[in-house]
A and B are shown apart, each in its own frame.
Chain A
Amino acid sequence: MKATKWQVVVVLSLAAVLCGASGHIAAQESEDSAVIQMVGSTTVGPIADAYAEYFKDKGIKISVTKNGSGDGAKALVDGLCDIADMSRFMKEKEFKAAVENGVMPVAHVMAMDGVCVIVHPSNPVKALTTEQIRNIYKGEITNWKELGGADQNIVVISRDTNSGTYETFEGLVMNKEKMAGSVEYVASNPHAKARVESTPGAVAYVGLGFVDNKVVALTVDGIAPNRKTIAAGVYPVSRPLFFFTNGYPKLGSKVFTIVTFHLTEEGQKIIEEKGFVPVTSY
């Protein structure tokens, strides 16, 4: 009898401790941190990493997390990051959630990115139209010979639906039509590239920054993806990359320095080194 009474006391005090702990964590998160948290897109990730490296010696510590644009938006809404790295604009839903949470998302366009459709170097197909690409992903074209290539089944590879690259591709190429069930999904740009590199019949899409000489980026609607066509916005599958902050950062603050860094020469050099296109070139 005594024991059961004590059991109740212990359970209650344990619950109290747990509640107290969670409250404490929430309080910590809202404090202004010495380390700038950048959370979001795997596409913007390399730029953020390079920024972190550059600012390390300049008194600004940056921590970069790369889980996808959706995570970045969520982190900003929840006040878990200072800058959300996003490879797409915020969705209406995310904006609403932010405003309801007292967060005012402000977009900073810091670079342009082209989503390149890549194939194996041995593939004779070097150019496709947006419609052909759409039909490949819809599963209506299943063999490269239908596109003037070898008699080989197409292995269609997509990024996971969590990624900004997927959303850009879905919006610009798929016209919101459904991809076929046979489409394979990989979790990151390097994975997509690695799969195409090792699979002769594969097709995938990645940001321009991830294309190297081991894969071939297709010409789309007669326009080859390169810095010029992407910066000019004529390449059909190009998009701006964003930093989102809660309100416009205080002038001269650390966050301000980071989100305006792409206007400096060093910033542009970093963006170009990572294979993206500086916005100032148009």
Chain B
Amino acid sequence: LSNPADHSSLSGRRAGAVDSDRPLLLTPGQDLAGFVGNLAGRGFLFAITFASVLAVLLIFIFIGAEAIPFFAEVNVTEFFRTTEWYPTHEPAEWGGLALLLGSLYVTLIAVVIAVPIGLLAAVFLSDIVSFKLRQIIKPVIEILAAIPSVAVGFFAFLVVAPWLQNTLGMDTGANALNAGVLLAVMAMPTIVSIAEDSLTAIGRELREGAYALGSTRAEMLLKVVIPAAGSGIIAAIILGVMRAVGETMLVLMAAGNASQIPHPWWDLTQSVRTMTGTIAFEMGEAPHGGTHYHCLFAVGLILLVITFALNLTSEYFLNRSRRKLRGGGK
């Protein structure tokens, strides 16, 4: 310290490192520039973030505003209770029950197929298969999700439908079963991927703890890991369901689009029409501002409400699973 040379070299280094040349007091101009720059940066980022929120809000407002006149123009109980869907006929009839049930049919078929298979596949990937093989299988399953639905639709239309007719002897191959099975294929990657993530997130401690208490692998999976990942698995299922409810192109090509409730109700080889398919089919012709136009928006609003409710539910379960895991699990 007594050496002046040492001291000067120290102060020189410090000046380079932390820029102590900068005065602590800013001139009013610099102060203003900093203030404006801060605001501009914040504003820019805020605008970008807000734009996406705004888009969602506008979608809700737009669909809501276009749908509301329908409820004034048409007897709504009739919409929910009859199946006579003749929007272009004179006089028009607005029985939407077949559309609602059509969506329900194909979605339920997809769920019944995709959920068990998807969950078993997820358990297999997270706990049974070797890590090396998992690293191959999981991306392959996820690629399934990237196949455009119109391609799956063409497959349903040109391959599955004739096969159902010629091999299984169904009258028509464009039916609820065809659409449901292929929807299951499309919903599966979502279910596998998210369920597998939540099973993996359970962690080693729980699994080893279960083994240490004398569990077999089956007991460990069924009594410890799967219950612990329950919330995540439910979220995975709900996201899969949302995929199925909202799918349009595939059901347009595979479901046959007959506005009817299968009779008898369990006959899945009959053609059904979904809400999404109806909107896609008829929006082009519906005169702007007419009852048909408002009606299709009302159908869209119903779909939006369904997916929104499902989304909130899955969000709830995902949060719950995160909370549970933070708390060390049960």
B257 & A185 in contact (Cβ 8 Å cutoff)? yes
A-B contact pairs, 28 of them (CB 8 A): A3-B42, A6-B39, A6-B42, A7-B46, A10-B47, A10-B50, A14-B54, A74-B284, A97-B287, A153-B171, A161-B87, A162-B282, A162-B284, A182-B258, A182-B271, A184-B258, A184-B271, A185-B257, A186-B257, A191-B157, A191-B253, A195-B157, A195-B174, A198-B158, A198-B166, A199-B161, A199-B165, A201-B171
Is A176 interfacial (CB 8 A cutoff)?
Answer: yes
B281 & A161 in contact (Cβ 8 Å cutoff)? yes
Q: Mark A1-13, 1 if CB is under 8 A from B, else 0.
A: 0110011011100
* Closest partner residue, chain A, to B281 (CB atom): A160
Q: Mark A251-270, 1 if CB is under 8 A from B, else 0.
A: 00000000000000000000
List B contacts of A74 (CB < 8 A).
284, 288
B51 & A14 in contact (Cβ 8 Å cutoff)? yes
List A contacts of B281 (CB < 8 A).
160-162, 185, 187
- Which of A67, A153, A162 has the largest number of chain B CB atoms within 10 A? A162
* Partner of B157 from A10, A68, A182, A194 at Cβ < 8 Å: A194
List B contacts of A201 (CB < 8 A).
171-172
B284 & A70 in contact (Cβ 8 Å cutoff)? yes
CA distance A186 to B251 in the complex (A): 11
CA distance A183 to B281 in the complex (A): 15
List B contacts of A152 (CB < 8 A).
171
Interface of A is mostly: mixed
Number of interface residues of B (CB under 8 A): 43
Interface residues of A (CB under 8 A from B): 2-3, 6-7, 9-11, 14, 67-68, 70-71, 74, 93, 97, 152-153, 155, 160-162, 176, 178, 181-187, 191, 194-195, 198-202
List A contacts of B260 (CB < 8 A).
181-182
Q: Shortest Cβ distance from B47 into chain A, in angstroms? A: 5
Is B252 interfacial (CB 8 A cutoff)?
Answer: yes
A198 & B46 in contact (Cβ 8 Å cutoff)? no
Told that A3-B42, A68-B284, A182-B270 touch, could you supply 6 new A-B pairs with CB distance under 8 A?
A11-B50, A71-B284, A97-B287, A152-B171, A181-B83, A199-B172
List A contacts of B174 (CB < 8 A).
184, 195
Q: Shortest Cβ distance from A200 into chain B, in angstroms? A: 7
Q: Mark B161-177, 1 if CB is under 8 A from A, else 0.
A: 11001100001111000
B47 & A14 in contact (Cβ 8 Å cutoff)? yes
B161 & A198 in contact (Cβ 8 Å cutoff)? yes
* Closest partner residue, chain B, to A184 (CB atom): B256
B259 & A181 in contact (Cβ 8 Å cutoff)? yes
CA distance A68 to B285 in the complex (A): 8
CA distance A198 to B287 in the complex (A): 35
B172 & A184 in contact (Cβ 8 Å cutoff)? yes
List B contacts of A191 (CB < 8 A).
157, 253
* Partner of B258 from A9, A183, A194 at Cβ < 8 Å: A183
* Partner of A187 from B98, B252, B259, B271 at Cβ < 8 Å: B252
Closest 4 CB pairs of A and B: A70-B285, A198-B162, A181-B260, A185-B257
A185 & B258 in contact (Cβ 8 Å cutoff)? yes
